[in-house]
Structure 1
Amino acid sequence: MLTKGRRRKAVPLHRVPRVSVVIPCYNYGRYLRQCVESVTQNQPGIEVEVIIVDDKSTDDSLAVALSLQDCDTRIRVIRHQQNKGHIATYNEGLNAATGEFVLLLSADDLVTPGALPRAAALLIAEPSVGMVYGNAIHFSKDLPESRSEGTDWIIWSGTTWLQARCRSGYNVIASPEAVMRTAVLREIGGYRADLPHAGDFEMWLRTSAVSDIGFVAGVDQAYYRHHATNMNKQDFSSGTAFGQLIDLKQRWQSFEAVFAGVGRGLMDGPQLLELARRTMARQALENVNYAYARGFRDFPVGEFEALANEIHWDMRNTKTGRALARRKRLGMTALPLHPLWAASACRWRLEELCRRWRRSRIGM
């Protein structure tokens, strides 16, 4: 159940830590006030520093940010004279943070009441932990109620957590629920400009290569907002086949970057990289399998197969590769006529439900 994690009872804060919240903002003026209020209100027992970085917004974001700064000395605004993009904006804000702990919070997201002290309490009680996260509520309209009465923490060794990511290949952290120890952030460095789509994922992998990872169980730590102008939708074609290809490619590149960088000295590093290699290549071919089974003739089959072969040279001799060869012989037959589709569909659906359940219960 815990995949080698250690469960312990949560303990309350016994001192007042300083938590920096970096809020990058580009044309999210309509969300900014609510975002800031989520970290300046209902977060007892901590000292909060809020750093808003406006990346040359063309809406009223800067005006909203400056009005918030005028009303609260805990808030300061960094103003870009030209648009620098999200990675440079993230790193500038993180470099300006002075707190013991730090959270990067998009201006369209929020934290739940008590989220920051809960995360800080775990980080103080467990000095080996470099990052704490919890459950994130996904929403699009009114804020749902959040859970706040959880009493357990789960602690994983960094290698155990990293191994779980290599085995699944998926990111289990939306982003607004992750609070880092600033000293660990300084040790591993900021976001990578060459991984604009998977920057968060690569950051979490890098963190697990140098520190343990904590999870606040039974509570909700953040709200992740879905809307028409989400950056993933606008910049990375989320929800499309092209977006899936970008996502797969950059998740694989994240593994490569970590094991070539801070993770290169890990004792099990080569084995973990091979595990990640097989996982990501298999996922690329599973997308092709799905397209053949459903008769998606416009799906970029060639690009996905090329990516799978680029990641792992011998995927044709794996179970997934052989299944794809059988599907190709049958052709792109739509669902009602495809004899091999039903069993795979049930398996994929069950795996996805299992992942969601584990992510909400134990963060894995």
Structure 2
Amino acid sequence: MSTVSVVIPCYKYGHFLADCVSSVLDEQDGVDVRVLIIDDASPDDSAKTALKLAAADSRIQVRVHESNKGHIATYNEGLLEWADGDYVALLSADDRLVPGALVRAADLLDAHPEAGFAYGRPLRFQHGGPLPKARTQGTGSVVYPGHWWLERRFREGTGCITSPEVVVRTSLQREVGGYDPELPHAGDIEMWMRLAARADVGYVRGADQAFYRVHGNNMSTTDFGGQLDDLRQRLVAFDSVLAKCADQLPQAEQLADTVHTRLARYALRRAYRAYDRGRTDIVPVDDLVAFAAECRPGFTSLPEYQALYRRRRIGAGLMPYLQPLVWSAVVDRGREWLWWQSWKRRGI
């Protein structure tokens, strides 16, 4: 029977702990599981709750920080200092696993020693709302070549994993090291890519693997300034992978050009969409353009920049009224060019 070490970092989430731990210990028949709860000096009763859970189940250990160390240091403490099972999972105290998730991931990794980690589909749910119905019967699995999977992340310029749905081979986790403290908001995607640079990637098909809670305290940002920060963090994360994994990535220069172009296009798209939606007063358009310039010399040749240029010529006040007539440069450059020429002839 495979052994799985589950690290549960907790900061002010004591009221979620019992449900989180139950999803690990009571709903994962078929694997030998141990749990470490690390309370990062929570000001509430999180530590007391954790200790109470540990007193009732010998499979649970607890560490309580006297001072707050932050989430990255807490993650690394559990993953690198404590975990000793065949596999390791990192599960936030406000999330939970789907029944059987650890068994499905462990079975995949047992069958494919070339795979460094396994993940599946997470289910997002709103804080305060009911859990969505989860699929618990898998339809098989697939193992992607690590470099192919990594290249796809660079092409897309974004990740495809939230975090609680991942189970990592412990030996590989120790080989690649811990989360980077320089990447507080993009450390997850950087970690998955570092793992993929050294091993193949398994995916559980058919079944859902974890529940990811969405609420105001999630570290991801949705405000417009936060979206720019997200792009900056992603840029640093991708560049970090290229620097740390240079020996494993002979195509590093090509990957860098690919992701820099993709991130520049994301930034410019957000900039021109601000004109379409009448939000140029709250969207940092100039900063987004500056970011695109930082990412890619010659960014003005990108179709998204041309779309932005046209909208700037029309003006922020008029653009929201004309937006339904505009064809995005990304979707159809030719039709937007014809549209622009027709307005240009009218003296706009």
Scaled by the length of structure 2, the TM-score of the pair is: 0.91
What is the letter of the counterpart of residue 18 of structure 1? T
Kindly indicate whether the alpha-carbon contact (under 8 Å) linking 1:293 and 1:334 is maintained by their aligned counterparts in 2.
Answer: no
Match runs of 1:119-268 below 5 Å: 119-140=105-126, 141-232=129-220, 238-268=221-251
Note the C-alpha offset of 1:34: 0.3
Kindly indicate whether the alpha-carbon contact (under 8 Å) linking 1:20 and 1:101 is maintained by their aligned counterparts in 2.
Answer: yes
Q: Given the superposition, is the C-alpha separation of residues 97 and 334 from structure 1 closer, same or farther in structure 2, using an over 3 Å criterion? A: farther
Note the C-alpha offset of 1:265: 3.6
Kindly indicate whether the alpha-carbon contact (under 8 Å) linking 1:294 and 1:332 is maintained by their aligned counterparts in 2.
Answer: no
Kindly indicate whether the alpha-carbon contact (under 8 Å) linking 1:115 and 1:221 is maintained by their aligned counterparts in 2.
Answer: yes
Which structure's CA Rg is the greater one? Answer: 2
Root mean square deviation of aligned Cα: 1.7
The more displaced of 105-114 and 95-104 is 95-104
Determine helix, strand or coil for the equivalent of 1:224. strand
Note the C-alpha offset of 1:231: 3.1
Kindly indicate whether the alpha-carbon contact (under 8 Å) linking 1:51 and 1:77 is maintained by their aligned counterparts in 2.
Answer: yes
What is the letter of the counterpart of residue 277 of structure 2? R
Q: Which runs of 5+ in 1 are unaligned?
A: 1-15, 233-237, 349-364
Q: Distance in 2 between matches of 1:22 and 1:156?
A: 26
Determine helix, strand or coil for the equivalent of 2:7. strand
What is the letter of the counterpart of residue 45 of structure 2? D
What is the letter of the counterpart of residue 234 of structure 2? R
The more displaced of 331-340 and 185-194 is 331-340
Selected match of 1:111 from 97, 100, 110: 97
Q: Given the superposition, is the C-alpha separation of residues 342 and 49 from structure 1 closer, same or farther in structure 2, using an over 3 Å criterion? A: farther
Q: Percentage identity across aligned positions?
A: 46
Determine helix, strand or coil for the equivalent of 2:122. strand
Matched, 1:299 2:287: no
Q: Distance in 1 between matches of 2:184 and 2:172?
A: 21
Scaled by the length of structure 1, the TM-score of the pair is: 0.87
Selected match of 1:314 from 298, 311, 314: 298
Q: Distance in 2 between matches of 1:262 and 1:85?
A: 26
Q: Which runs of 5+ in 2 are unaligned?
A: 333-348
Note the C-alpha offset of 1:339: 4.5
Kindly indicate whether the alpha-carbon contact (under 8 Å) linking 2:142 and 2:205 is maintained by their aligned counterparts in 1.
Answer: yes
**Counterpart in the other structure of 1:78:** 63
Matched, 1:22 2:4: no
Q: Distance in 2 between matches of 1:19 and 1:291?
A: 47
Selected match of 2:79 from 61, 83, 94: 94
Determine helix, strand or coil for the equivalent of 1:190. coil
What is the letter of the counterpart of residue 151 of structure 1? T
Determine helix, strand or coil for the equivalent of 1:344. coil
Matched, 1:41 2:30: no
Q: Distance in 2 between matches of 1:341 and 1:176?
A: 43
Q: Distance in 2 between matches of 1:334 and 1:150?
A: 52
Note the C-alpha offset of 1:155: 1.2
Q: Deviations over 1:108-129 (max 9, x none)?
A: 0000000001000001101111
Number of aligned residues? 328
What is the letter of the counterpart of residue 240 of structure 1? D
